Amino acid sequence: MGINIIIGYILMFIGAFFFLASAIGLVRLPDLYTRMQAATKATTLGAISSILGIGLMKEEILVKSIILAVFIFLTAPISGSALIRASYKAKSPLTDKTVVDRLKEKEGETK
Amino acid sequence: MEKANYLSRVIFETIVLFLTWILLTESLATSELVFGLLIAVIISLGTANLFTEHGLAHLHPKRLFYLIIYIPYYIYQVIKANVQVVIIVLSPSLPIKPGIVKVKTNLKTDVGKLALANSITLTPGTITMEIEGEDVYVHWIKVDDESVEGATQSIVSPFEKFLKEIFQ
């Protein structure tokens, strides 16, 4: 068993762990915004880590898996931002633990 | 960074598309290269004005140098972000203190702001919600400092020093 196979398995294990943690986060966190934090962060690294792990185990798809990882890196945050902004416009409630909301202050000014 | 003319935009987009083509086909055969270059040029002629505003200026050696330093730094920040969110999620007391803070950026170009927003979204517990002029609104899962200056210091400044060199 080559060293690349071992590293591949480790990366895939890390990826699976981050997926699990993000699933737990979705259940435990109180409101949509904090859940988005768990969803966008953990799935990004989870997906990238799994893809690179598979790429390391099969050399013929290594370059393609790196390109895939780069595109996930570039696009995942954009969908995260768009979703969280849309939910704020749809007035999804913030949790009681929220300490400050500057966006509300701003939108109060313009009205 | 100034706006570039059409030719410079076309050449820049052709280079980017052609490199992507080579990486995707993983082949250096002449027929593949010629065909890829042809497609890259055709697409670039049509879409160069949408693709880039600054053209070849992006390939200035200083910008490339900072970009190459920025990538490992960015990856390090992403891993740190993930570990922190995992710790928050898994700790029994759920130590969150969420809030929406306002931060300021000095970046002027649209691409620079996009890069900043992406970087913020991928770092410790922060998601960009809105950019308006120089104000950036960020949802922060653990607010340490509610003031504009304090939040700017801890959210924006780690990235801005690199992005300023790359996109300004």
CB B113 within 8 A of CB B107: yes
Q: How far is CA B62 from the centre of its chain?
A: 17
Taking contacts as CB-CB distances below 8 angstroms, the residues of chain A near B141 are 34, 37
pLDDT of residue A111: 45
Whether residues B79 and A45 touch (CB distance < 8 A) is answered with: yes
Interface test with A, best of B71, B96, B110 (most A CBs within 10 A): B96
Strands B126-132 and B99-104: unpaired
Whether residues A41 and B128 touch (CB distance < 8 A) is answered with: no
Q: How far apart are CA A35 and CA A93, in angstroms?
A: 13
Q: Which stretch of DSSP H or E encloses residue B127?
A: strand B126-132
Give the residue-averaged pLDDT of A7-26. 89
Count of other CB atoms within 10 angstroms of residue B10: 24
pLDDT of residue A106: 67
More confidently predicted of A47 and B160: A47
- For helices B61-90 and A3-28, angle between their N-to-C axes, nearest 10 degrees: 60
Taking contacts as CB-CB distances below 8 angstroms, the residues of chain B near A21 are 85-86, 89-90
Taking contacts as CB-CB distances below 8 angstroms, the residues of chain B near A97 are 96-98
pLDDT of residue B38: 92
- For chain B, residues with pLDDT lower than 50 are none
CA of B46 vs chain A CAs: smallest distance (Å): 23
If we measure between CA atoms, which residue out of B151, B162, B89 comes closest to residue B119? B162
Using one digit for the tens of pLDDT, what is the confidence trace for B34-77? 998 999 999 988 887 887 777 777 777 788 888 888 888 888 88
Using one digit for the tens of pLDDT, what is the confidence trace for A50-75? 998 998 888 888 888 888 888 888 88
Q: Which residue of B has its CA nearest to A65?
A: B24
Taking contacts as CB-CB distances below 8 angstroms, the residues of chain B near A34 are 96, 98, 141
> CB-CB: which of A24, A102, A103 is closest to B90?
A24
Q: How far apart are CA B11 and CA B40, in angstroms?
A: 10
Q: Which stretch of DSSP H or E encloses residue B139?
A: strand B135-140
ipTM: 0.75
If we measure between CA atoms, which residue out of A86, A101, A91 comes closest to residue A36? A86
Whether residues B121 and A81 touch (CB distance < 8 A) is answered with: yes
CA of A2 vs chain B CAs: smallest distance (Å): 23
> CB-CB: which of A63, A97, A102 is closest to B96?
A97
Phi-psi domain of B47 (left: phi exceeds 0; alpha: psi -120 through 50; beta: other): alpha
Q: How far apart are CA A40 and CA B70, in angstroms?
A: 21
